[in-house]
Structures are given as C-alpha cells and as structure tokens.
Amino acid sequence: KKQEKVVNLIEKPDYVKPMPAIVGVNFINNSKLMFGCLKELMDKNIKTKQEYQLTDAFQLMLDKGANMETFELDGWYDCGKPETMLKTNKYLLNKKTKVIKTKNTVIIDPVYIEDSAEIVNSVIGPYVSVAKNVVIKSSIIKNSILNKGCNVLNAQLTDSLIGENAVVDDIVEKLNVGDNSEIRYSGK
C-alpha cells in the first residue's frame, strides 16, 4: 500500500471507523517544532480525555504545516498494559532468542538473556527476557521481563514485570515492580 499524507489525527475516538491507527512508531524530522507544540499544549492546557496527548502535539504540527505520512506494519504489538507487554514479549521471543552460559541453571526456550546477566541455581523460561546487569539467584522465572540492573533472589515469578534496579527477594508471586523498588518477604 502506498504512503498516504496525514491531515488529521484522533486520539482514541469514541466511534469505530476503519482507519489507520497510530501504533507508537514515529520518526520526527523537526524535533524543534514537536517540542514547541508540546510546550504549547501545556501552556494552553490542551488535553484530550483529561490527559496531555502526543497525538494533540502531532495535530498542532500538522496545523503548522508539518508533513506526516503513513506506512503499514505487519502487526500491532501493544505494551500499554502488563498483560499486553508480556504477550508482545512472547511474540518477540518466538522470533529471536539469546542465551548465555549460566551456573547450575536450567534454561527453557525461548528466552533472551543479555551477556552481562548473572544467573545461578535457577530455572529460567519459557518466555523470559533478562536485560543487562540482572542478577538472578536460586529462582524460578516464567513468562516475565526483568529490566536492567534488577536482582531476583530466592523467588518464583510468573507473568511478572520487574523494573530497573528493583530487588525481589524471597517472593512467590505474580509481580509488577517499578524501577528502584524493593519487595522482600517480611518474615525475614
């Protein structure tokens, strides 16, 4: 399908009409204009559904003469909610995996494990992504995403998202832990 020029954008319309969707892939040539439009949104308190929307900034850019074009994607991989992020992770792991050497650890494909991760005495997978500088010890982890620098110790995690530099210690749960957070069993 040929590229088409964008003339109007609607953030989460209240009606259903077949049309292309904005799925989060944007290449901005004129960042100065974009940041100016974002500032205008805030200065004029322009909100859609009680929130500042990037879509509204894009519309201001169009109104000021910016050129935007569409292109088609083969799929829409949503990361807006924990369950859709895990579903997207599963899709991506079915396309590409990476495994490193570990100590006394069972790896169940598909997984993606960065080279700098340290994994000892654990079971990892299936469908687990492990970022840089993650430490996992004596844990069982399935269908989860562990972001850079987090530590998972003596844990059993399924369907979990662990933020950057978070610590999870002695927990058996489904978790969604933010960056720089600590979750420890209180019986310690």
Among 10-24, 54-68, 117-131, 150-164, which stretch is predicted with the lowest mean pLDDT? 10-24
Instruction: Evaluate the omega torsion of the peptide bond into residue 110 and state whether it is cis, within 30 degrees of 0.
Output: yes
Return the number of other C-beta atoms located less than 10 Å from residue 20's C-beta.
12
Contact by Cβ (8 Å): 131, 114: yes
Task: Calculate mean pLDDT across residues 152-180.
Answer: 96
Q: Which CATH superfamily is domain 83-184 in?
A: Hexapeptide repeat proteins (2.160.10.10)
DSSP state of 164: T
Q: Is the pLDDT of residue 62 over 60?
A: yes
Mean pLDDT of 46-66: 92
Phi, psi of 137 (to 5 degrees): -135, 135
Q: What are the domain boundaries of the chain?
A: 1-76, 83-184
Token digits of residue 86 = 């895990």
pLDDT tens digits, one per residue of 71-99: 776 666 767 789 989 999 999 899 888 88
